[in-house]
Amino acid sequence: MARVFITGSTDGLGRAAAASLLRDGHEVIVHARSARRVPAVQHLLDRGAQLATGDLSIEEEVRQIAAEAGGIGGIDAVIHNAGVLDGPALLPVNVVAPYLLTALIPGPRRLIYLSSGMHRGGDTGLEGLDWAGRTTTASYSTTKLQVTALSAAVARLVPSVASNAVDPGWVPTRMGGRSAPDSLELGHRTQEWLATSDDPAALASGGYWYHQRRKTPHPAVKDPQFQDALLARLAAHTGVTLDALG
């Protein structure tokens, strides 16, 4: 049995993963952006899930989420599921929050970051980006390229942690839209497998996955220079490094 923390659990893939993991006998910590969103996961709380609340677009609240989740303790895996599709919150939610939670939540030996096939269209430039989200300075594709590179950087720098990125496919969620062609069920299975399975493939690190198959990501994802430059920008913005991992 594992204890898994899932960001963005009030709908879509995050809520589906939480429900599935609970059904399989695992312990789950769900996340809601605010108290107003808690009713969306009340049925999971009634089944034994625990809760962390906070807005991932606000750095102070991300730190509070890390403290809440860390206070529960015993976290085996984190699924960085939360994401936004557009607007000024793209960098804070899709990149800064996963970075901070990675640095600040103690203990997990498995980290899963939600990517997208759209990451291949991302921009590798790091100049002029507003990490605080006051203005929109990056596309969705760019943030997904960055978070996929973050996953690969953790895998390279912290060998004691199994760090992987997952493309869940274009699935019919609120973000993906009703006409999305991929399977919602398959869209969350890989994350659950990476978070809990004893399969040697799931215990490996540094993968970019689609429906439990390794795929080849954008070349920048595996580029140590790009990874290090990205980590340096995130450390400079947050004042937090990944040194404590491992």
Tokens read off for 194: 């990476």
- What is the average pLDDT score of the chain? 94
pLDDT band per the 50, 70, 90 thresholds, residue 151:
very high
Round to whole Å and give the CA distance between 7 and 56. Answer: 9
Axis-axis angle for helices 224-238, 140-157 (nearest 10): 100
Longest dimension (CA), the chain: 46
pLDDT band per the 50, 70, 90 thresholds, residue 139:
very high
pLDDT of residue 186: 74
Q: Which residue in 99, 113, 140, 208 is the catalytic one?
A: 140
215 is catalytic: no
144 is catalytic: yes
More confident residue, 95 or 176: 95
Q: Which residue in 144, 210, 215, 222 is the catalytic one?
A: 144
Cα 19 to chain center, whole Å?
17
Percent of the chain with pLDDT over 90: 89
pLDDT of residue 185: 61
Query: Does the pLDDT of residue 127 top 60, yes or no?
Result: yes
| pLDDT, mean of residues 20-38 | 97
Round to whole Å and give the CA distance between 49 and 67. Answer: 17
Task: For 47-95, write each residue's pLDDT tens digit.
Answer: 999 999 999 999 999 999 999 999 999 999 999 999 999 999 999 999 9
> How far, in Å, are 97, 101, 132 from residue 233 at the CA level?
14, 16, 12
Query: Is 8:82 a contact under the CB 8 Å cutoff?
Result: yes
Task: For 83-120, write each residue's pLDDT tens digit.
Answer: 999 999 999 999 999 999 999 999 999 999 999 999 99
Task: For 181-190, write each residue's pLDDT tens digit.
Answer: 555 667 789 9
Round to whole Å and give the CA distance between 75 and 27. Answer: 9
Residue of 130, 127, 124, 107 whose CA lies nearest to 221: 124
Domains annotated on the chain, with CATH: 3-238 (3.40.50.720)
pLDDT of residue 243: 85
Count of CB atoms within 10 A of residue 141's CB? 17
Round to whole Å and give the CA distance between 161 and 56. Answer: 23
pLDDT of residue 169: 73
